[in-house]
Amino acid sequence: MQASARVARAQGASGGLARIVLVGKGPPDRGGISAFLVDLLRSDLGARHHLRLLNLYRDGDRNGGKLSRANVTRTLADAGRVWRAARDAELVHIHTALVPLMTLIRAGLLSLAGRLAGARVLVHVHSGMVEPWLAGQRRRWLARLVLGAAHQVVTVSNGSYDALAAALGASRVRLIYNGVDAAAYDTGPAHDPPRILFAGVLTPRKGVVDLLRASRLLRDRGVEHELLLAGGTPEEGAPVEAEVRRAASTTAPAARFLGPQPHQDMPALYRRVDLFCLPSWWEAMPLTVLEAMAAGLPVVATSVGDIARMVEDGVTGRLVAPHQPEALADALEPLLRNVELRRAMGRAARQTVNDRFNLSGAAAALDLLYREALA
């Protein structure tokens, strides 16, 4: 009864059209948060509220998460920007990876700036590292202290929800799955040889080296294919990307590095390939998987984070354990050899996005949360 009354009050609050500031790294950043913000601004959420983006992207910013003088200075400057933007807003919606430590402190300071300006504050957590990082009691206590200014915390995966609920209390945490607009994607033709696409930052933690090794195993078995790698420098810096490229030169020299891809170019890129592979060591709910599924591609991925809730093994793709190049090759091989199997799984994948992970559903859930926060 209390929950129903709260929702009823929220739905009537101000009749919608609240002034909302979205805070985070937007274009030209090519990460998942930027893609989500672009989709959110284009969604029907913009018809229900006045949305504007406070873009905190900085060119060459590849040292996120490190406790350094430069990051502290940047965070204080960004907190000032949030405070000024929040003075003319009712709600500040901050998008963040939340961890490691400097990123957590940054999220807390941005939240405090919005709160001091008189706005309600939501912190939206996108990282798959939240669950292992908050495993210890001391870090949970620290998260509770640092995020004290946020009225509500949103997360995109079940594991992150459990970890944040343990730290902050379940009443302060809301789980809202990511969603994509399937109408923005369509299926391309089959290619000979078939093409595998990886999209993400070039770092071993995304499983890129595992995929390169799997590609080598497939070639040794006589399975012809092309491997396309779309992505750029990770937060860890250029030396990590260089490590991946060195691995490619010795393991899979035929792999093609496409570089970072603008979000608006991704639908065309998905049309140029036959299946999508993301063998990450950890994730939350990666948008690239949903985008590939919306484009009618079968997905081969690791069963980490909430990927197993997105990809149904044997129906919309294949799931393997992380750090297992041979198992990855075994999962890819039947799909590379059988175009009809790829097509059937791709159709099922697109239907899954339409039914369970569409952008309209995510926008509606955020709309309700906005109204509750402002009620």
Could you tell me what percent of the chain has a pLDDT over 70?
A: 94
Percent of the chain residues topping a pLDDT of 90: 89
Give the DSSP H or E segment for 219: helix 208-220
Q: Are residues 47 and 26 in the same domain?
A: yes
Cα–Cα distance for residue pair 249/229, rounded to 1 Å: 13
- 37: which residues sit within 8 A by CB, 6+ positions away? 22, 24, 25, 26, 53, 95
Do residues 126 and 174 both lie within one domain? yes
CB 231 within 8 A of CB 248: no
Token pair recorded at residue 106:
């940054």
Give dist(CA 299, CA 349) in Å, integer: 8
Judge if 352 and 362 occupy the same domain.
Answer: no
Same domain (yes/no): 105, 26: yes
206 in the same domain as 151: no
- Binning pLDDT at 50, 70 and 90, where does residue 149 land? very high
pLDDT 10s digits, 129-141: 999 999 999 999 9
Statement to judge: residues 138 and 198 lie in one domain: no
pLDDT, position 25:
95
* CA 42 to the chain's CA centroid: 17
How would you list the strands of the sheet with 19-24, edge to edge?
A: 50-55, 19-24, 91-96, 120-125, 152-155, 173-175
Which residue(s) pair with 230 in the sheet?
199, 259
Contacts of 71 (CB under 8 A, 6+ apart): 63, 64, 102, 106
Same-domain check for residues 200 and 307 = yes
Collapsed DSSP state (helix, strand, coil) of residue 36? helix
E-only strand ranges, 176-315 = 195-199, 226-230, 256-259, 275-278, 299-302
345 and 226 housed in the same domain: yes
**DSSP single-letter state for residue 13:** G
Contact 288, 32 (CB under 8 A): yes
Query: What residue type is 267 in one-letter code?
Result: P
CA 23 to each of CA 91, 92, 121: distance values in angstroms, whole numbers, following the listed order:
11, 7, 11
Sign of CA dihedral 136, 142, 147, 152: positive
Cα 35 to its chain centre, rounded Å, is: 8
Q: What is the pLDDT of residues 208-267, one digit of tens each?
A: 999 999 999 999 999 999 999 999 998 888 899 999 999 999 999 999 999 999 999 999
pLDDT at 352: 98
Q: Are residues 137 and 75 in the same domain?
A: yes
Torsion of CA 69, 72, 74, 79, to 10 degrees: -160
**Are 342 and 362 members of one domain?**
no
Average pLDDT, rounded, for the chain: 93
Interatomic CA distance for residues 292 and 352, integer angstroms: 12
- 97 vs 210: CA distance, rounded Å: 24
Distance CA 231, CA 263 (A): 11
Q: Which residue has the tokens 């929702």?
A: 7
Same domain? For 204 and 187 the reply is yes
Omega of the bond prior to 132 within 30 degrees of 0, cis? no
Q: Where does the pLDDT of residue 17 fall: very low under 50, low under 70, confident under 90, or very high at 90 and above?
A: confident
pTM: 0.92
Q: Which domain holds residue 300?
A: 182-356
What single-letter DSSP state applies at residue 170? G
Segment 34-44, tens digit of pLDDT:
999 999 999 99
- CA of 342: how far to CAs of 184, 186, 187, 316, in Å? 21, 15, 11, 9
The residue that leads in pLDDT, 58 or 353, is 353
When divided into structural domains, the chain yields a total of: 2
Instruction: Give CA 109 to chain center in angstroms.
Output: 22
Asked whether residue 367 falls in the same domain as residue 320, the answer is: no
- The CATH number given to whatever domain includes residue 104 is 3.40.50.2000
